Amino acid sequence: PWSLIQPVSTATMFPMYGSRGILWEGHSVVSVGVASPGTAGSPQVAMMRMDANFGTRSMGMQEVSAGLPPLSYHTLHQLPAEDDNERVWVLFGGELRQSQRSGEDGHLLTESVSNALFSSNNLEEWRTVIVPGPKPEGNYWGASLVGMGELLVVFGGQDSYSPHSRLWTFEITSSRWHKRVYAAVNAADGSVYDSCAAVEECANPPPQLNLARYGHSSVVYSGTKVQVGVAASELGLPIVFYGGVSEEHDRPVDEIWVILVPRTGQCTLLGPVVNSGPSSPGGLALHTAAMMSDALFVFGGLRQMQFDSSNELWAFTFAEYVAGSTQSMSGTWRQVPLSGDAMPRVWGHSMVMFNELWIIGGSVCEAEEGEEARCASEDDFEQLQQTTMSVWSIEFVDEMLENLGKENTTAWGGEGRKETTTGYGEDNSFPPGRRGAACILLENSLLMFGGIGKEAEGDGPEIALDDFFRLKLRDDNNVGGGGGWQGVMEWGPLSFPGEKPSGRGHAGVVVREPYVYFFAGDSVMEGELADMWRFDYMSAYPPRCQAVGEATQSAVANEEMEFTIETRTVLGKTPHSCSSEFTVEFHGLQSSSFLSGQVSKEQLPDRCRYSVRYMSTLIGVFQMQITSGGQPIHNSPMEVKVHPGPTFPANSVATGLGLTACQAGVQCGFNVYARDERRNQGLGDDRLRVLIVGPCIGDRLDPVTNLLSPCTGPDTLVAFSRYNYDGSYRVSYTLTAAGNYSMNVLLRGNHHIEGSPFLSTVTASDIHPDLTWIYGRGLSYSEAGLSSNVYVQTRDEFGNNISMQGADTIVPTFVGDDGGEMQVRVRQQALEGGLYEIIYYPFTDDPGMADISVNGIWSMQFNVTPQAVFSPQENVAESLRLIIFAPIACFVFGVGTALVVNRVQALHRKKKQEREKEEKGALQGENEGDGDDENNPRDDAGDEPDGGGMQPESVIREMVQKSFLSAEEGTQARELLKAEDPVAIRALDTYHESTEEDAKKMAVLAHRLKKILFLVDDGLEVAQGGARVPVEPRQG
């Protein structure tokens, strides 16, 4: 489906990188990024704008000269606007570069990250947008993030490759950052360090003070020994942070600090906390920490700046302390012995506390047995590193749990340690190995975001991951403790469409219901980050939601269907709010039809009810897709079968030959298809009745409407019907009486289907000899020289007159008494109703026998004895007179009669011509009168001749006025009459002779005149008397 569009460049093009493009006017792409428009090898870079028009296939590039520094990997967005003049584009962040040359460390010179916001109305001139309120700087990495009430606290981090000691709080309710002022207090004696009494950053600390750091850990204190002495509403719980990397040291620092953060006002940094024990971890970076009662646990991490990973678990137990007193804040470090197999040396991992310590992923040192010392070697460390996604758990024995709060006891007991088996989830997903993942514990689930991993398993460059996973630590039937988790835990990916954080590692993470907050981190490509994201873990998570109800599988056409969507969060809980939006679409699998469902929300006391309503007018199988934010729910897509609605008789149809024709004695049939209101093939579960009424008597054609009228009797029969269980019926019937019948097809009681009642014709069956009979005078009497006739009536076995004309073969045969052929002429013709007339003409009075056969299978004989018309004459003279003079006399009489008739016709024709002249003169007078005075109405009575009949011109004019003829047809009719067309004249005479009403007379005359005009225009022959006269076609 992809094809490369080769554009035609209209300007010099330069390679761009880190650009972002937007669609312009629906046919072009505008991209803004960094390029080097100078000569080859020039170190200078500039912000360039590229325009690509897909309509004209042209490209262009120009430098953005106003308002924008060279920024790559930024974000570019067009704000919605109703008017083109109000369009606004905004550009945020990105990597700020002033040169393409690289330093010895591989970083571009003068490289930094921007957190500025720019806007433009034309993509040519840009201006900086001032964002109210402070916020963390653009470069942030390795900072610690903890949550405390309505505040999120961020301390330290790396800024442009240097650690800092800035303290920020983020107010959740107002979503605003605050840079906090703090005082650094010595935990040993309570004194305030010089130059760090009330600062936003302890930029010039005393030599013994090292606050600026990154890669440290921080947790909220959860014990009871440290008393801050202020109400909890004014001061949150203490925040404990440990370790990290500082510029003043060649290895991670080995210090514990406590931060006291009130809602407003100055904060306090108290430390380093005094270690009363003989040993300590020795300083760690990129390790993990967790609090259990008054004990701080730290595990793993780097003991040197960039190597020597640890596999040790340490615990620091706080001593009694009251804020404001003269006593020092102190405690004791102890290494926690671990039993079982040796723990791997790991750093960049994650750790959460859930009855046990759970350690997830990280970068482990994989040295051969006996070569573990290589993990502490700077030369070998990097090549032995391998990111992993293993999960370990450390289970505390009861004896240790009892002694957690005892500072000086040695009875810690042993700790069980085991590696937990994790497997692939339902969709065969398993997170790749990583370090620096952001992990948080929510109830019995571990959520993990991002981290730094490999582009491919094993070798390959490092990349910043942006994936999101959930690991369920125990099921609902296993509370934990004792034997701990048994079985395999499964990873499950959490995927969300739309915007999400970019890939990063070592991000800070904290939970404040209903959100999980992620802050800062480092990206392999983008460097340090300073953005904050929040994830609503209490909203509906589409892959855990599902549609329930019968309407998710089947529906009835033309009926409103409803089902519900059961929502679940990523933790499998029912969300309380109605913040989620769902889209429901149906796509026909057997057609191109499409429809959508309407989703409604109802807020209930403990949850939100999502109801979906839809109605399909078509039947068939549909694929239903339910999505939220473009992401399908658990059981989407699904197939929904839409069944027909209730039968709608007026839309139901019948087809088949038996519907309109049948033969007597033969079983005929047709099919009936039930339809619903939308003409879908219906269920057909209603009773079908077929009533056959007939045979009809008389003509069924209505002369007014030209429609066939239904039969009214004399009998009514019920046809047999069978339901086919697919919305159709098979109807069969057998009739023995020939004739016309009405087929009344009824559904749902007495409701006719479409086209019912149907008019069907039943024809007679084959001829039956026993029921065929002959009658007529010719059976018993005939005369020589004169014609005689007999009639043959054919019938079938049911007594029906055979009505198929020409189907029967009638063969009459005349044989003389001497065995020879009789001198007789025979002619036969078929009449209506299967009746045949046989006419025979004997030439002599010789007797014989007549045999009449029907179809060669039935015959009847009768004697033929012609009688002589004239008796023999003995007188020769008389015979000659009859033979010679009788014909001559007849001829003379005929000629005389013809002359008389011809004379009469000539007189009639002369009178007719004179009458037409008179009418023509009268018409001209009327036209002249009409021209003189248009307002003078015509007196139609003046058109009446003395004889009481209307003249031809008046008749034609009135027929045009009353719309029996069009104006053009009236003109053509006048021309026919002027030409003395005999057929037209005879039609007009018939009109005058008729005694019917004028309207009916005109209708008949108009019909005949139109037929004459049609024949004349087509050049056909018109009958005149007994002859056929060709008529020349005339144009209208």
Please give the backbone phi and psi of residue 991, each rounded to the nearest 5 degrees, phi first: -60, -45
**Across 29-33, 671-675, 1016-1020, which has the greatest mean pLDDT?**
671-675
**What are the contacts of 278-281 at 24+ separation with CB within 8 A?**
279/333, 279/334, 279/335, 280/254, 280/314, 280/333, 281/243, 281/254, 281/310, 281/312, 281/314, 281/333
Q: What is the DSSP letter of 883?
A: I
Give the separation between CA 957 and CA 930, rounded to whole angstroms: 14
Rounded CA-CA distance 520/143 in Å is 7
Tokens (6 digits) for 294: 């008054």
DSSP lists the bridge partners of residue 416 as 395
Give the global pTM. Answer: 0.54
CB 504 within 8 A of CB 434: no
Element (DSSP H or E) covering residue 536: strand 527-536
| Residues 6+ away with beta carbon under 8 Å from 812 | 826, 828, 838, 840, 850, 851, 852
Q: Residue 843 and residue 868: Cα distance in Å, rounded?
A: 10
SS (H, E, C) 51-91: EEECCCCEEEEEECCECCCCEECCEEEEECCCCHHHCEEEE
Lowest mean pLDDT segment, chosen from 318-322, 438-442, 956-960, 1024-1028: 1024-1028
| More confident call, 220 vs 341 | 220
Residue 1026's pLDDT band (cuts 50, 70, 90)? very low
**pLDDT score of 551:** 93
Do the bridges between strand 631-632 and strand 594-603 make them parallel or antiparallel, or are there none, so unpaired? unpaired
Residue 507's pLDDT is what?
85
Tokens standing for residue 110: 């003068």
Residue 409 has pLDDT above 70, yes or no: no
pLDDT tens profile 609-619: 999 999 988 88
Which of 105-114, 622-631, 681-690, 731-740 shows the lowest per-residue confidence on average (mean pLDDT)?
105-114
Which of the residue ranges 50-59, 221-230, 595-604, 800-809 would you say has the lowest mean pLDDT? 800-809
Instruction: Tell me how many degrees the CA angle 108-113-114 measures, rounded to the nearest 5.
Output: 135
Q: Which value, to the nearest 10 degrees, does the dihedral of the CA atoms of residues 836, 842, 846, 852 take?
A: -10
- Please answer whether residues 437 and 506 qualify as being in contact, where contact means their C-beta atoms are separated by less than 8 angstroms: no
Q: What pLDDT shows up at residue 612? A: 95
Q: Identify how many contiguous H helices and E strands the chain contains and give both numbers.
A: 8, 70
Residue 132 has pLDDT above 70, yes or no: no
What Å distances lie between residue 314 and 283, 301, 506, 524, CA to CA?
11, 12, 21, 31
Higher pLDDT, 729 or 426: 729
pLDDT over 50 at 176, yes or no: yes
Rounded Cα gap, residues 74 and 47, in angstroms: 12
Q: Of the segments 704-708, 846-850, 890-894, which one has the largest average pLDDT value?
A: 846-850
Q: Quick one: CA dihedral 296, 509, 526, 387, positive or negative?
A: positive
The band of 345, judged by pLDDT with boundaries at 50, 70 and 90, is: confident
Question: Looking only at Cα atoms, what is the longest distance across the chain?
Answer: 186
Task: Count the Cβ atoms, other than its own, within 10 Å of residue 940.
Answer: 12
Per-residue model confidence (pLDDT) at position 730: 93
**What value does the mean pLDDT take over residues 729-747?**
91
Tens of pLDDT, residue by residue over 841-857, are 898 888 999 998 887 77
Residues in the chain, overall count: 1036
Mean pLDDT of the chain: 77
Could you tell me the two tokens for 786? 């004169």
Hey, what are 174's tokens? 């107002």
* Percentage of the chain lying above the pLDDT 90 cut: 14
Angle of helix 982-993 relative to helix 998-1017, nearest 10 degrees, comes to 170
What are 489-540's pLDDT values in tens digits? 778 888 877 788 888 888 888 888 888 888 888 887 767 777 888 888 888 8
Mean pLDDT in residue range 119-133: 73
Where on the phi/psi map is residue 848: left (φ > 0), alpha (ψ -120 to 50), or beta? beta
Among 5-19, 67-81, 762-776, 931-945, which stretch is predicted with the lowest mean pLDDT? 931-945
Q: Is the pLDDT of residue 677 over 70?
A: yes
- pLDDT for 869: 67
- Averaged over 427-451, what is the pLDDT? 82
pLDDT of amino acid 481: 39
Instruction: State residue 343's pLDDT score.
Output: 77
Reported as a pLDDT band with limits 50, 70 and 90, residue 402 is low
pLDDT in tens, 362-390: 888 887 777 778 888 888 887 788 877 78
CA distance 172 to 176: 7
> Would you say residue 823 has pLDDT above 80?
yes
Torsion over CA of 566, 567, 573 and 578, rounded to 10 degrees? -120
Q: What is the pLDDT of residue 142?
A: 63
Residue 597 Cα to chain centre, angstroms: 10
Model pLDDT, residue 685: 67
733: pLDDT confidence band, cut at 50, 70 and 90?
A: very high
In the predicted structure, residue 477 carries a pLDDT above the cut 70: no
Q: Say how far apart CA 73 and CA 33 lie, in whole Å.
A: 8
Q: How far apart are CA 986 and CA 977, in angstroms?
A: 10
**Alpha carbons 216 and 253: distance in angstroms, whole number:** 9
Task: Flag the least confident range among 75-89, 236-250, 949-963.
Answer: 75-89
Q: Does pLDDT of 41 surpass 70?
A: no
Q: H-type helices in 197-289, by residue range?
A: none
Of residues 399 and 155, more confidently modeled: 155
DSSP secondary structure string for all residues of 983-994:
HHHHHHHHHHH-
Q: What percent of the chain has pLDDT over 70?
A: 76
- Distance separating alpha carbons of residues 982 and 318, to the nearest angstrom: 136
Whether residue 714 is preceded by a cis peptide bond, meaning omega within 30 degrees of 0, is yes
* Nearest-5° Cα angle at 9, 7 to 12: 145
Please report which confidence band the pLDDT of residue 753 belongs to, taking 50, 70 and 90 as the band edges: very high
CB 505 within 8 A of CB 522: yes
Backbone Cα Rg of the chain = 56
Nearby residues of 407 by Cβ (< 8 Å), 6 or more positions away: 276, 317, 319, 331, 332
> Which of 121-130, 316-325, 909-918 is predicted with the least confidence, judged by mean pLDDT?
121-130
Of 206-220, 491-505, 868-882, the range with the lowest mean pLDDT is 868-882
For residue 769, give the 3-state DSSP assignment: helix
Q: How far apart are the first and last CA of the chain?
A: 64
- Nearest in space to 623 (alpha carbons), one of 545, 563, 567, 552: 552
pLDDT of residue 671: 95
Residues in a beta bridge with 95: 72, 113
